[in-house]
Amino acid sequence: MEPLSIDELASRIPDGSLLAIPKDEGGVTMAATRALIRREARDLRLLCVPTSGLQADLLIGAGCAASIECGAVTLDEQGLAPRFRTAAETGTIKIIDSTCPAIYAALQAGEKGSPFAALRGVIGSDVARNRDDWKIIDNPFSESRDPVLLVPAIRPDIALFHARFADRHGNVWVGNKREVIIMAHAAKRTLATYEEFFEGDLAADPGYAAGTIAALYLDGIAPAKKGAWPLAFAHFYDADNAHLSAYAKAARTDEGFARYLAEYVIKQLVVAR
């Protein structure tokens, strides 16, 4: 598989796509996120697997997202996600409230070709009461009343993430980030950035095969050294907490967010190696 440029990769995500993105520590491609903002992507329907932070906040603040389904959006130690909070308070984005188990179960159903998944633990919650697309039924295999929750399968249009390695065949290695593997299996198309090129065959290497997503599931890959920056990435580099703190402060106002976009997104960065 011939690698793409970051901008070419971003161009393969159509406006209006249901876009699955991983949690902050799961392999977020901030490089592709900035490229999406530069190309002025619109009406994306974000599916956080199962939460998000800076990535969702940037896409929402830049006007790229029409809706978001998530368990939470937060900047963790840096506090609330300011652009998400503003959009929620002003009603400029549709929020589909969910839970981590429900999102995982729905993606696993999509991965397996099942129309729905059954789970427990959410029954009786406000989340379940406010989801018209979730159904509670009696377990048909139980002789006594036994309610279970059914959630419809989710098949994202695009799964987007950052991987540690890619090889010449188009395989990518994500290690123990199992949610990213589920995303790739469930999605109609999968796009990934990667840190480094791997000289061998990841799928055939016994040291890497278990954490490899086969090229069969990939529709495009692009090199992106420090592609998750300023987020941490897979025990490879730490989060840039000073940068994240500065973002959290700047993004509290429209003017501060616009300055951040101009400095760190609109102009293409050369991230320190």
- What is the value of pTM for the model shown? 0.96
**Helical ranges in 22-147 per DSSP H:** 30-38, 54-61, 82-90, 100-112, 126-129
- pLDDT tier at 199, thresholds 50, 70, 90: very high
Considering the chain, what is the average pLDDT of its residues? 96
- pLDDT tier at 162, thresholds 50, 70, 90: very high
Tell me, what's the pLDDT at 273?
46
Phi, psi torsion values for 49, nearest 5 degrees: -115, 90
Q: What is the mean pLDDT of residues 120-140?
A: 94
- Provide the percentage of residues in the chain whose pLDDT is more than 90: 96
Chain segment 216-245, per-residue pLDDT in tens: 999 999 999 999 999 999 889 999 999 999
- pLDDT tier at 34, thresholds 50, 70, 90: very high
Do 164 and 224 touch, CB atoms closer than 8 A? no
Residue with tokens 């990769």: 9
94-97 and 18-22 strand pairing? unpaired
Give Cβ neighbours of residue 180 (< 8 Å, ≥ 6 apart): 22, 26, 27, 49, 159, 161, 163, 174, 213
Tell me, what's the pLDDT at 184?
98
Q: Does residue 178 register a pLDDT over 80? A: yes
Q: What is the mean pLDDT of residues 173-201?
A: 97
Tell me, what's the pLDDT at 270?
57
Tell me, what's the pLDDT at 269?
60
Tell me, what's the pLDDT at 84?
98
Chain segment 63-91, per-residue pLDDT in tens: 999 999 999 999 999 999 999 999 999 99
Q: Does residue 271 register a pLDDT over 60? A: no
Do 131 and 97 touch, CB atoms closer than 8 A? yes
- Tell me if residue 168 falls in helix, strand or coil: coil
* Type of residue numbered 82: P
Tell me, what's the pLDDT at 234?
83
Q: Does residue 187 register a pLDDT over 90? A: yes
Q: Does residue 267 register a pLDDT over 80? A: no
Domains of the chain with CATH codes:
6-98+155-266 (3.40.1080.10), 116-152 (no CATH)
Q: What is the mean pLDDT of residues 192-215?
A: 97
Q: Does residue 139 register a pLDDT over 80? A: yes
Q: What is the mean pLDDT of residues 248-264?
A: 97
Q: Tell me the torsion sign for CA atoms 207, 212, 216, 221.
A: negative
Give CA separation, 124 vs 67, 104, 164, 211, in Å. Answer: 25, 19, 40, 37
